[in-house]
Structure 1
Amino acid sequence: MITSEHELRALCQRALQTKRVAIDTEFFWERTFYPQLGVVQLGLSADELYLIDAIALPSLPGLGGVLADENTQLILHDAVQDLQILSRHTGSLPRNIFDTRRAAGFAGLPSTISLANLLQEMLQITLPKGETRSDWLQRPLSEAQYEYALDDIRHMPELCDRLCAMASERELAEALAEEMQSYDDPSLYADLPMDAAYNRYKPARWPLPRRPLLYTLSCWRETEARRLDRPRSHIMQDADLMAIVQYAPGNDIELNAVRGLARNTLLRHRAAILNAITAAATIDPLTLPETAPREERMSTEFKQRVETRIKGIKEKAEKTGLDPALIGPKADITALV
């Protein structure tokens, strides 16, 4: 395992010369807001496989240059989460991505297929599953952990080649290349905007006067969770947040009277909750995102038109060997009808 900056920088230089790298990560995610990165796997070929100790080298010196190099192809499976973690640790934005999971959808397979199933289907290789829930922060790693981590990248270049060949056979090579370019979007690797914390509670279902407090409380909790790197529930439970919004206290006395609110929450966060209440009073609910009432029911005729469009898309996709799920979610198709 690579544990020194010198070793890692040397490996990254070789990776840049190779122009093609398989990457994976192993992490632990239970008591923090962000995943705790334990190991990074780097493969230059089927025989040149390396593990990087992300605990000894948290900023992963040199790896950011590999991620950001437009001339070095990065091969991953289900790429976004791994790249989000690596981008946060290195400060670099990934480029030139090949996601084998997504690419499977252009080769006559589901675009949501697991790596184990994809390797079995394409290469008749069976991956062991014993270390799926392993502790990747422990040191030293076990021999089983080493083998598990290396197996995840060992066959990625061959898998990439096979998927590209199958997409070409279906005359989908250009579409596959275009799909992979979407991974160059920097927004994929950034923290979600604060509006996302608010939208988790489906604000359109809340009475209009309650939405400003829902917004200020949810955004405060999200900010604290990120700052302290703790799960949202460690800052405030959903039940407590919704109880406050439902009761809509206007001052400290009314806050004390909120039913179902844990006393511990008040002891820890009274000032912050009162600040959120004060801030909410200054917000026009009509200026908040997702506040316009949504049509919960569609007419029977409209539903039939949507289903007809979805059926047509599915039939056309299946004829070309393209996974219909790649066309877009039902909500997007509905918006176009």
Structure 2
Amino acid sequence: MTLITNTDALRVFCAPLHSEPFITVDTEFMREKTYWPQLCLVQIGGPDAAVAVDPLAEGMDLTPLYELLDNRNVTKVFHAARQDLEIFLHLSNRLPAPLFDTQIAAMVCGFGESVGYEHLVSKLANARLDKGSRFTDWAMRPLSDRQIKYAMADVTHLRVAYQKLRNQLECENRTQWIEEEMEVLRDPATYRPDPMQIYQRIKGKKGNGRFLAVLRELAAWREREAQYRDIPRNRVLRDEILVEIAHHTPETPKTLSRTRGLSEKAAHGLTGIAILDAVKRGLETPREQWPQLPARPDLPRGIGPTSDLLKVLLKKVSEDANVAGRLIASSAEVDLIAGLGENAIVPALGGWRREIFGKDALRLRAGELALAIRGNQLIIREISDQLAE
């Protein structure tokens, strides 16, 4: 086990990796009390050795690591990469590239949805992991040998898993099947949401355009405040408080102080001023700029049984093809196919998804196919064959 605590050692370790086809990468971080994740450890796996890098060590400069992550000739392999990538984007203002996420790849290799690292490496690398340090405080120093050993396992076994998944994808011509999911990871906007769009994540946002305009301003203010103070957004104000304020649109600190969950001190202080300013901006938003909730498609009544049948088909084809059903079509997308048929604008009716599911889904909906049970197996049958018997 090697723990790197100075920049020179990091530079020496990274130098030969620039000529390697791939490296494995993982991070340990803390986020319970902050908006931005606090990077506490970086693990890097090469062909001959793996190290843990301490970014909290005095004088540590991660530039050699960032240069390696920037090398377009070296694939950076992660498992469940999203939070790791968010950290690197925040610290270096760029994303590692090119990258490969084994959790996404596993979705088209028979491991189901969101497979955990422990299960993946047990199957592909025949490795058993000690997960006793899963909930450790990674910001505490010094790190124990057990913590470092736990962290290193997240990149050592990942090399074997990556090679086997990559080979399977190539052999089965499925590399492009995960491209859409990978493209989301490559987009900086995935990790830098527009504050003016954050309101869409809030539950219970039922109301007219005026209400939504106020809620949008309140949520945007809270997001910027959380970023500036580096605290979780709900420690600024909880969602339900924003919703209540947006409904009642207070205009003075006194009326604002009646909001449940908001202290009188906050209502009459700087926080109250900022909230009232946000409410005012929302109320002054011209009607033509009011946000609108996405319109729900006007689906025919009584499509429930049809949708349920198509979901059975989806489950069958996902198991037959060893692909996670969610990657083929979501439940809402299946409902659209049930109600609108070929007119449904969903990914399942295009590309490889159409070939393994969409085409048969449309035929099943049109009465050209049937589902039947033979023995204990679900099978797909042509209606004409069924009628001929």
* Aligned pair partner of 1:109 in 88, 111, 136: 111
Asked whether 1:233 is paired with 2:238, we answer: no
Would the aligned equivalents of 1:33 and 1:229 in 2 still touch at CA under 8 Å? yes
Tell me the amino acid that sits aligned with residue 120 of structure 2.
Answer: L
Report the more deviating stretch, 159-168 or 327-336. 327-336
* Structure 1 stretches of at least 4 aligned residues deviating more than 6 Å after TM superposition: none
Tell me the amino acid that sits aligned with residue 190 of structure 1.
Answer: Y
The equivalent residue for 2:84 is 82
* Aligned pair partner of 2:20 in 18, 25, 34: 18
Would the aligned equivalents of 2:30 and 2:138 in 1 still touch at CA under 8 Å? yes
Tell me the amino acid that sits aligned with residue 75 of structure 1.
Answer: V
Deviation (angstroms), 1:254: 3.1
Query: CA-atom RMSD, angstroms?
Result: 2.6
Tell me the amino acid that sits aligned with residue 232 of structure 2.
Answer: P
The equivalent residue for 1:96 is 98
Report the more deviating stretch, 118-127 or 189-198. 189-198
The 1:321/1:291 distance shift into structure 2, 3 A limit, reads: closer
Deviations 1:104-158 (A, max 9, x none): 1222111311000111122321101110001111111001101001111111111
The equivalent residue for 1:319 is 320
Distance 1:213 1:19 in 2: 51
Deviation (angstroms), 1:225: 0.3
The 1:188/1:245 distance shift into structure 2, 3 A limit, reads: closer
Distance 1:135 1:323 in 2: 34
Tell me the amino acid that sits aligned with residue 199 of structure 1.
Answer: Q
Deviation (angstroms), 1:175: 3.1
Tell me the amino acid that sits aligned with residue 42 of structure 1.
Answer: I
The equivalent residue for 2:263 is 262
Distance 1:280 1:268 in 2: 19
Q: TM-score when scaled to structure 2? A: 0.77
The 1:132/1:110 distance shift into structure 2, 3 A limit, reads: same
SS in 2 for 1:54: coil
Pair member with larger Rg = 2
Deviations 1:209-241 (A, max 9, x none): 322221111110000101111111222233432
Structure 2: stretches of 5+ with no match in the other structure:
338-343, 345-389
Tell me the amino acid that sits aligned with residue 221 of structure 2.
Answer: W
Tell me the amino acid that sits aligned with residue 68 of structure 1.
Answer: D
Report the more deviating stretch, 301-310 or 98-107. 301-310
Report the more deviating stretch, 173-182 or 74-83. 173-182
Would the aligned equivalents of 2:212 and 2:292 in 1 still touch at CA under 8 Å? no
Asked whether 1:55 is paired with 2:81, we answer: no
Would the aligned equivalents of 1:195 and 1:289 in 2 still touch at CA under 8 Å? no
Report the more deviating stretch, 251-260 or 212-221. 251-260
The 1:305/1:101 distance shift into structure 2, 3 A limit, reads: same
The 1:231/1:204 distance shift into structure 2, 3 A limit, reads: closer
Distance 1:330 1:38 in 2: 38
Give the share of equivalent positions with the same residue, in percent: 27
The equivalent residue for 1:138 is 140
Structure 1: stretches of 5+ with no match in the other structure:
none
Would the aligned equivalents of 1:213 and 1:245 in 2 still touch at CA under 8 Å? yes
Distance 1:41 1:192 in 2: 27
Would the aligned equivalents of 1:96 and 1:181 in 2 still touch at CA under 8 Å? no
Deviations 1:280-300 (A, max 9, x none): 1211355344435546x8544
The equivalent residue for 2:120 is 118
Deviation (angstroms), 1:202: 4.3
Deviations 1:160-205 (A, max 9, x none): 1212233345x24433563575256323553111244211224751
SS in 2 for 1:41: strand
The 1:238/1:320 distance shift into structure 2, 3 A limit, reads: closer
Deviation (angstroms), 1:268: 4.4
SS in 1 for 2:132: coil
The equivalent residue for 1:213 is 214
SS in 2 for 1:70: coil
Q: TM-score when scaled to structure 1? A: 0.88
